[in-house]
Structure 1
Amino acid sequence: MLFMVEMAVDIPLSFDRSEAERLKAAEKEQFQELQRAGTWRHIWRVAGQYANVSIFDVEDNAQLHELLTGLPLYPFMTMKITALCRHPSSTYDDDR
């Protein structure tokens, strides 16, 4: 199943700076693993914001929930999730 996930990150200014950097590095590492696995298919930065729009390819809602809540920066995120389905006019074979 494909999902579009809009994520905005808001780490409080009072949060420990070194811990924030550690969490960001762990987030990047986890993201890159998921991208190599084909689970986190696309990511785009939202210009001028600490935010992104991503496309996930997962088995079901439960897998997406587990993946998102397991992200190191999850406690600081606001998300909007939209389920997607293949458009009949798409010329791409991998749009499931």
Structure 2
Amino acid sequence: MLFHVRMDVALPHAMPADQAAELKRVEKARAAELQQAGTWRHLWRIAGQYSNFSVFDVASTDELHDLLSTLPLFPYMRIEVTPLVRHPSSIRNADF
């Protein structure tokens, strides 16, 4: 199943810079791992925001939830999830 996921990150202003840097470092490594596995299919930054649009390919909403909760920045995210299905007018049959 494909899911469109918007993630908005809001780190506390009082968080020490070194702690924020370490969180971002381990988040980047986890994101790379999931992309290499093919689970995190697309990752797009939203210009001017600490946010992204992503597409995940997982078996279920439970799997998506479990995966998202492994992200180091998860406690600081507002997440919106939209399940995706192929549009009957799409000419791109290879990307599902």
Fold conserved (TM > 0.5)?
Answer: yes
Match of 1:63 in 2: 63
Match of 2:18 in 1: 18
CA RMSD of aligned residues (A): 1.1
Deviation at 1:90, TM superposition (A): 2.2
Could you tell me the TM-score, scaled by structure 2's length? 0.94
Tell me, what secondary structure is at the counterpart of 2:23? Answer: helix
CA contact (8 A) 1:9 1:76 kept: yes
1:94/1:37 Cα in 2 relative to 1: closer, same or farther (>3 Å)?
A: farther
* In 2, Cα distance between equivalents of 1:94 and 1:33: 23
Tell me, what secondary structure is at the counterpart of 1:28? Answer: helix
Tell me, what secondary structure is at the counterpart of 1:72? Answer: coil
Tell me, what secondary structure is at the counterpart of 1:15? Answer: coil
CA contact (8 A) 1:86 1:95 kept: no
Q: Where do 1:1-96 residues align within 5 Å?
A: 1-96=1-96
* In 1, Cα distance between equivalents of 2:13 and 2:69: 22
Unpaired runs of at least 5, structure 1: none
Percent identical pairs in the alignment equals: 51
Unpaired runs of at least 5, structure 2: none
* In 1, Cα distance between equivalents of 2:36 and 2:94: 16
